Amino acid sequence: MLSNFTTGVVMKYGGSSVANPKKINEVADRIVERKKKFKNIVVVVSAMGKTTNNLISMSKEINENPSKREMDMLLSTGEQVTISLLAMALASKGEEVISLTGWQAGIKTFGHHMKSKIGDIDKNKIENYLEEGNIVIVAGFQGVNEVGDITTLGRGGSDTSAVALAAKLNFSCEIYTDVKGIYTVDPRLFSKARKLDYLSYEETLEMANLGAKVIEPRSVELAWKYKVPLYIALNTNDVVGTVIRGEGNNMEKNSITNISVIDNILLVNIELKTKNTEKINNIFVQLGNKNVNIDIISQNKFSDNNYLISFTTTNDNKIIVSEILKEMNLNFNFIENVSKVSIIGNAMRTQAGVASRVFEILSKNNIEFHQVSTSEISISYVIDDFNVKNIVEILAKEYNL
Amino acid sequence: MLSNFTTGVVMKYGGSSVANPKKINEVADRIVERKKKFKNIVVVVSAMGKTTNNLISMSKEINENPSKREMDMLLSTGEQVTISLLAMALASKGEEVISLTGWQAGIKTFGHHMKSKIGDIDKNKIENYLEEGNIVIVAGFQGVNEVGDITTLGRGGSDTSAVALAAKLNFSCEIYTDVKGIYTVDPRLFSKARKLDYLSYEETLEMANLGAKVIEPRSVELAWKYKVPLYIALNTNDVVGTVIRGEGNNMEKNSITNISVIDNILLVNIELKTKNTEKINNIFVQLGNKNVNIDIISQNKFSDNNYLISFTTTNDNKIIVSEILKEMNLNFNFIENVSKVSIIGNAMRTQAGVASRVFEILSKNNIEFHQVSTSEISISYVIDDFNVKNIVEILAKEYNL
């Protein structure tokens, strides 16, 4: 819990937590509980369960390639339904409450439709309603841009709305989800994984970037920038979750905090007869033009004047990558069914030898890797899918996770 | 058609016309057709088919008596879904198009939630989009009030939005429905009823007030006030509908234009021993305080110092009326299963003897009536339900409707 940090709290509930009227009522009960501790409560909610998918499928029946502005117009109704229903639920429990859409809550966005960014929040209206004693329910994922169009924030949008509101109001932010918090390893991969009580922003960001699905990197970054204390917990709020703040002094006891896995990786190998920097550069320009995100890149000379360029991307880019590389007359192959396993720890930067110890473990267990990359606080290996569960268990035991 | 009156047209489609993606596509086809004739087209739409009912039933699961502000927040999502889907449909047919919610379209409202009235429309945004060559799709039934809350306009709200926009833009207004136009008599009551090509505002208003369900009185009143040419037609636009404008010269040929019926009437008789004006007045004050709408009132002395006060209201007020009258210790009874049959014609004011002729017809056919009331252009009779079909046929034949 974060009750001692701030004068108010932003509570965020995602789509599965508000999937039907019964669940909305349960969320309302949690908010009533929290209201006993906090004078100021802002709640951010997503669209109910399958609402967004239903709206998308209706739109597909009408137009295979709808304008993004109109998609925002359509999808933003989802959260508007949730905020009004949640406000009704709270009112029926005797609370003073008011719901606000993104534009009513003063959430100003910029950038493209369906992936807008929050530029600023005009917090006057929210603060006035809070002062009058209201619980304020805000539609997540949405805002209004400079021409008065409704916009949505794209992936992880509601988390971002919640963190941005907390930053602006100087509140802490509680993200309620369907998991109990952040774990040392995904419990589906390693059943003995432990829930972490505390994490630093940096570690959380690295984990979010490297595959932990609990929270989007974007909202962690924002929380870090504005030093918003974050709390990630189960939506029933009956187990203690994970607190994210500061640089994580508590973490230095462990050299490794977390193992994250991203699956559905496509490894692309390109053979070049000469080391032509311009040509190599051009490959990545072409890929970038088609919005193909590249992750790990490596380059090796494997015999006289034979160069191997390798990079990873997500598997759904297979067709477009193939088209681009064929058009450039390149000699390439794909390695599929690989995952990226990342070992993350804030202490990595102060403790030498972590990387070499991992190499040793992999080698001792006959686990081959296709690629490796390192950051200040993480090492990532691209390995075959069939090795993932094995290596995660070995590393989790090695580092006592 | 109204193409010769104005430089632009507001086309309005109700919920059953846009009930699913297929129907939305068909509406889009009609709009594309109309766009060939008009440079400026604004389209007003309601929520899709059952959407509003679904939203209401979800809200009832959560709160039996939800705040009207939150109901407006909830229900206004219905039209927002329709406008975006219709915009997508038009875009897929190659049209330039943009959708606007009530607040984006500048529709400013005042008064209570769920029955707000349009105060003014800031038409700048719509005009700019029209100038750029867009078809502008506006969410009907909704607006924004002076504190920035989303409001809805209540019964007949989308028609009112359409007429108000037409008035402000100096356009004509086409209301597309699931009937072919306005008939001399409801075709379900009299199969030989004729569709009317022209009607005056006054006759239409009287008909709307007296039970014709095609259009709400409120929007006719607004059209009349701003002299907006109205056209009511089938949503497939493949039959000629009814044009409403002016004082209706074409109408003077007929002494009677239309017969309308309102069913589910409750006739209340109250017996008083003395003619106590204060007491009588108090009855209606009490009823008014509880929002019981009273229609026809009559008062008769039926024996020495025995007075009978009768009034009609709708049947759903039975319980509340009973409570109020019991509390006042009044001697009363109800007559149920009665309807109000109205005979309407602009010419009635210039031709004497219409009322006496109707009395004669009723008497000749042994049809008793409980009450009668007259206006400048109509006479209404409260009669038993079992007589309705009979009297409608007799009158329709008598007046060649």
Which of the 8 DSSP states describes residue A159?
H
What is residue B192's predicted lDDT score, i.e. its pLDDT?
Answer: 85
- Which residues of chain B are within 8 Å of residue A67 when distances are taken between CB atoms? 87-88, 91
**CB contact residues (below 8 A), chain A span 25-64, against chain B:** 25, 55, 58-59, 61-64
What is residue B43's predicted lDDT score, i.e. its pLDDT?
Answer: 98
Residue B170 CA to chain centroid, in angstroms?
Answer: 22
Q: Are B144 and B108 within 8 A, CB to CB? A: yes
pLDDT in tens, A309-359: 888 898 888 999 999 999 988 889 999 989 998 888 766 666 667 777 788
What is residue A131's predicted lDDT score, i.e. its pLDDT?
Answer: 95
Helix, strand or coil, per DSSP, at residue A44: strand
Mean pLDDT of B290-297: 82
For residue A306, pLDDT over 90 is answered with: no
Picking from A299, A316, A399, the residue whose alpha carbon sits closest to that of residue A358 is A399
pLDDT in tens, A79-122: 999 999 999 999 999 999 999 999 999 999 999 999 999 999 99
- Which residues of chain A are within 8 Å of residue B76 when distances are taken between CB atoms? 80
Mean pLDDT of A188-209: 86
Distance from CA of B82 to the nearest CA of A (A): 8
Chain A / chain B CB contacts < 8 angstroms: 109
Query: Which residues touch B313 (CB under 8 Å, ≥6 apart)?
Result: B265, B266, B268, B287, B292, B293, B294, B295, B321
Backbone conformation region of residue B276, classed left if phi is above 0, alpha if psi is from -120 to 50, else beta: beta
pLDDT in tens, B384-401: 999 888 888 888 888 877
Q: What is the DSSP string of B211-260?
A: T--SS-HHHHHHHHHTT--EEEEETT--S--EEE-SS-GGGGG-S--EEE
What is residue A252's predicted lDDT score, i.e. its pLDDT?
Answer: 44
pLDDT in tens, A220-279: 999 999 999 999 999 887 788 899 988 655 444 556 778 888 888 999 988 888 777 788
What is residue A251's predicted lDDT score, i.e. its pLDDT?
Answer: 43
Distance CA A194, CA A185 (A): 7
Q: A286-300, B63-77, B122-136, B221-235 — which is least confidently predicted?
A: A286-300
What is residue A5's predicted lDDT score, i.e. its pLDDT?
Answer: 55
Among A22, A55, A84, select the one facing B74 at the smallest CB separation. A84
B12 vs A393, which has greater pLDDT?
A: B12
Question: In sequence order, what are the beta bridge partners of A340?
Answer: A262, A382
What is residue B104's predicted lDDT score, i.e. its pLDDT?
Answer: 98
B67 CB within 8 Å of a chain A CB: yes
Backbone angles phi, psi at B150, to 5 degrees: -75, 135
The model carries a pTM of 0.80
What is residue A6's predicted lDDT score, i.e. its pLDDT?
Answer: 66
For residue B19, pLDDT over 80 is answered with: yes
Domains defined along chain B, listed by start: 8-178 (3.40.1160.10), 259-398 (3.30.2130.10)
Q: Are A190 and A393 within 8 A, CB to CB? A: yes
Distance CA B49, CA B237 (A): 19
Pick from B57, B84, B122, B138 the residue to mutate for testing the A interface (most A CBs within 10 Å): B84
For residue B201, pLDDT over 80 is answered with: yes
Distance from CA of A83 to the nearest CA of B (A): 8
What is residue A164's predicted lDDT score, i.e. its pLDDT?
Answer: 96
Distance from CA of A148 to the nearest CA of B (A): 7
For residue B5, pLDDT over 80 is answered with: no
Burial of B303 (0-12, 13-18, 19+ CB in 10 A): exposed
User: Which ranges in A290-387 belong to alpha helices (H)?
Assistant: 318-327, 354-364
Pick from A60, A73, A122, A129 the residue to mutate for testing the B interface (most B CBs within 10 Å): A73
With an 8 Å Cβ cutoff, are B58 and A85 in contact? yes
For residue A301, pLDDT over 80 is answered with: no
Chain B residue nearest residue A23, CA to CA = B62
With an 8 Å Cβ cutoff, are B55 and A81 in contact? yes
Across chain A, mean pLDDT equals 88
Mean pLDDT of B216-224: 90
For residue A162, pLDDT over 90 is answered with: yes
- Which residues of chain A are within 8 Å of residue B104 when distances are taken between CB atoms? 148-150
Which of the 8 DSSP states describes residue B273?
S
> Model ipTM?
0.78
Among B55, B62, B148, select the one facing A89 at the smallest CB separation. B62
